[in-house]
């Protein structure tokens, strides 16, 4: 029940943040973007039915994501700091997801890396000095998605499905963000980037309560 209330509050907060991105005022961005993540973080803290290690790794990943959000929304350009914060968040997500894997298969990594290479090749001419950090980030998020997929591919419960869907939405969100920032801005980008991002984090947080062991 409390998780549902927090979900509703997160949806309202996310909506107010997205509205502020287009209509203002700027202070609402500073308020509602981190507040949305706080609600999602609270959902993760309340989660159960999974190993303590998985839960703590997801919670720490969400905290680093919150830090990344704060860096990216600051008026001064803190893109690299935000990128590093999210990269660290993905490392904690990877630790969580791999803790649910007994046997690993390599083939799902192939299409993910192909996708990452295609997206990077589109962005590369516009990255300048950011080529190395962006390369590292693309590799890590693809590995994160792969490790989220593995438990679900073995039918390990609803939590594995939620984590896998969250990881895919994270990739979609970051692809939109990167194309909008580096290749050329387009008006609907913030809406699609933020809705997929908040949905991804919500799904990953909710995966804590859904693993069948």
Tokens linked to 140: 């890590």
Q: In the 8-state DSSP scheme, what is residue 47?
A: -
Tokens linked to 103: 């046997």
**pLDDT digits 0-9 by tens, 149-198:** 876 656 556 778 888 999 999 999 999 999 998 887 788 888 999 999 99
Q: Mean pLDDT, to the nearest integer, of 207-211?
A: 71
Closest by CA position to 168, among listed 202, 139, 140, 144: 144
**pLDDT digits 0-9 by tens, 26-85:** 899 999 999 999 999 999 999 886 788 999 999 999 999 999 999 988 877 688 999 999
Q: What percent of the chain has pLDDT above 70?
A: 93
- Distance separating alpha carbons of residues 7 and 12, to the nearest angstrom: 9
Closest by CA position to 82, among listed 181, 184, 195: 181
* 8 A C-beta contact, residue 91 and residue 122: no
Q: State phi, psi for 194 to the nearest 5 degrees.
A: -75, -40
**pLDDT digits 0-9 by tens, 136-154:** 999 999 999 999 887 665 6
Mean pLDDT of the chain: 89
Where are the chain's structural domains? 2-209
């Amino acid at each position: 029940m409390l998780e549902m209330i927090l979900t509703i509050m997160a949806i309202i907060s996310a909506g107010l943040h997205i509205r502020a991105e287009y209509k203002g005022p700027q202070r609402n961005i500073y308020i509602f973007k981190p507040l949305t993540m706080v609600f999602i973080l609270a959902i993760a803290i309340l989660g159960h039915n999974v190993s303590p290690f998985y839960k703590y790794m997801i919670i720490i990943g969400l905290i680093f994501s919150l830090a990344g959000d704060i860096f990216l929304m600051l008026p001064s350009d803190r893109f690299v700091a935000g990128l590093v914060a999210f990269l660290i968040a993905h490392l904690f997500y990877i630790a969580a997801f791999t803790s649910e894997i007994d046997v690993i298969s390599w083939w799902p990594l192939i299409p993910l890396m192909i996708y990452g290479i295609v997206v990077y090749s589109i962005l590369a001419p516009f990255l300048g000095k950011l080529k190395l950090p962006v390369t590292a980030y693309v590799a890590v998020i693809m590995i994160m998605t792969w490790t989220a997929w593995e438990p679900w591919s073995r039918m390990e419960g609803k939590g594995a499905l939620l984590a896998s869907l969250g990881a895919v939405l994270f990739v979609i969100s970051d692809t939109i963000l990167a194309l909008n920032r580096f290749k050329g801005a387009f008006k609907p980008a913030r809406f699609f980037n933020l809705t997929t991002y908040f949905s991804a984090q919500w799904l990953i947080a909710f995966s804590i309560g859904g693993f069948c062991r």
